[in-house]
Amino acid sequence: MRSKLAALLLGLAGLPACAALNVFACEPEWAALVRILAPDAKLFIATHAGQDPHHIEARPALISQLRQADLAICTGASLEAGWLPLLQQKAANPRVQAGQPGLFFAAEQVELLDAHQHVDRSMGDVHAEGNPHLHLDPRRMLRVAQALSTRLGQLDPAQAGVYQQRFGSWAEAWRRQVLRWEERASALEDRALIAQHSSFAYLWHWLNLRQVADLEPKPGLPPSVVHLRKVLQSAQQAQPFVIVQTSYQDPQPARWLAGQIKLPVLSLPATVDSQRLDLNAWYEGLLTALLNAATPAGRS
Ligand SMILES: [Zn+2]
């Protein structure tokens, strides 16, 4: 309690509101971390859960927001390769160019899944540097938050201690929450499922779920009829309990397959709600949806 009070007092004694950092977040999950660590920051979020972050248009509104930013926080690992470099070029803001402390990539703070797989572009729009969807692992989120608190302190040295304090109290609560989630999710252990793309791979990895088929024939390529028929033939043996996709993916392929093999389809948000920026509520929702699908009424 005492450290929280100290953090609060330090925060009040810190920079005046007019000196608040101006932050550009490529995706809402990073905005959620900024809200925790730097609640006074002026925050702009470039995308929302209904959009596919691999494919975003470099609109003028995004360019003008990046032009004003002291810090751009993005996923990296080429997730934004199709739009962020263009924004950086057009915004011409020296603070958020490559190598500057004002450009923070979450993927550079943690080890990525599938980082060393063989890659060539003929395989589709594969993630060459590893799977960038790391915000689906709460333990990696913790490490990103820690690195972000250090970076905020570099950009705003007068408040460096406050960022560290805020990280400390959040991390303590987050670690406890992760343990509670792990306990709750034990019913999912080693269960098989079908999913679209590697969007939720970190979630499967964390909860020991097995993705036995991908609706995409190759990473980044849309599901084809030929491929879905193959999935239909091969995946049934593994006894998947659900088909999972993100709310921004085309629902038709998953629905077709679900009709053939009599499985429920879950369309899950790939990130936090942009208004609430509540990481706990988002993880809670993912877990609840999976548990409900794994133990339908009457079978549990
Ligand atoms: Zn992806």
Residues 112 and 219 in one domain: no
Closest CA to 41 of 143, 136, 163: 163
Cα–Cα distance between 247 and 260 in angstroms, integer? Answer: 21
* Ligand 1 center to 39 CA (angstroms): 29
Same domain, 163 and 223: no
In contact, 266 and 183? CB cutoff 8 Å: no
In a domain, 156, yes or no: yes
pLDDT at residue 294, as a whole number: 95
Q: Which two tokens stand for residue 119?
A: 């890659």
pLDDT score recorded for residue 75: 98
Q: How many helices (H) and strands (E) does the chain have?
A: 10, 8
- Kindly state whether residues 34 and 147 are assigned to the same domain: yes
Distance 157 CA to ligand 1 centre (A): 35
User: What stretch of H or E contains 281?
Assistant: helix 279-294
CA-atom Rg of the chain in angstroms: 20
Tell whether 293 is covered by a domain: no
Report the b/e string of 45-54 with b at 16+ CB within 10 A. bbbbbebebb
pLDDT at 220: 84
* Sequence-ordered strand ranges (E) for 20-129: 22-25, 42-45, 71-74, 103-105
- Same domain? For 137 and 10 the reply is yes
Domain identity same for 113 and 200: no
Judge whether 287 lies within some domain.
no
Whether 292 maps to a domain, the answer reads: no
What is the 28 CA–ligand 1 centroid distance (Å)? 16
Answer yes or no: do 159 and 24 share one domain.
yes
88 shares a domain with 58: yes
- Which H helix or E strand runs over 244? strand 243-246
Element (H, E) at 9: helix 2-13
- Going by C-beta distance under 8 Å and a sequence separation of 6 or more, which residues neighbour residue 59? none
Q: 236 with 92, same domain?
A: no
Instruction: Count the Cβ atoms, other than its own, within 10 Å of residue 82.
Output: 15
Establish if 15 belongs to a structural domain: yes
Q: Please name the residues in contact with 289: beta carbons below 8 A apart, sequence gap of 6 or more.
A: 266, 268
Does one domain contain both 25 and 158? yes
Same domain, 63 and 140: yes
Q: Is residue 278 part of a domain?
A: no
31 and 74 in a single domain? The answer is yes
Query: How many Å lie between the centroid of ligand 1 and the Cα of residue 169?
Result: 32
* CATH number, domain containing residue 257: 3.40.50.1980
Query: Per the structure, how many domains does the chain have?
Result: 2
Residue 273: inside a domain: no
8 A C-beta contact, residue 31 and residue 25 = yes
Q: How far apart are the CA of 127 and the centre of ligand 1, in A?
A: 7
Domain with 165 in it: 2-180
- Per-residue pLDDT tens, the chain, 300 aa: give them: 455 555 444 444 444 444 799 999 999 999 999 999 999 999 999 999 999 999 999 999 999 999 999 999 999 999 999 999 999 999 999 999 999 999 999 999 999 998 866 555 555 556 778 999 999 999 999 999 999 999 999 999 999 999 999 999 999 999 999 999 999 999 999 999 999 999 999 999 999 999 999 999 988 889 999 999 999 998 889 999 999 999 999 999 999 999 999 999 999 999 999 999 999 999 999 999 999 999 876 454
Alpha-carbon gap, residue 148 to 224, rounded angstroms: 40
CA of 243 from ligand 1 middle (Å) equals 17
Say how far apart CA 181 and CA 288 lie, in whole Å.
Answer: 10
Q: How far is residue 122's CA from residue 229's CA, in Å, rounded to a whole number?
A: 22
Check whether residue 149 and residue 231 sit in a common domain.
no
Q: How far is the CA of 298 from the centre of ligand 1 (A)?
A: 36
Which of these three, 126, 161, 180, is where a domain ends? 180
Residues 137, 205 contacting (CB under 8 angstroms): yes
Distance 45 CA to ligand 1 centre (A): 19
**Domain assignment of residue 152, yes or no:** yes
The residue out of 159, 180, 201 marking a domain boundary is 180
The per-residue pLDDT for 19 is 72
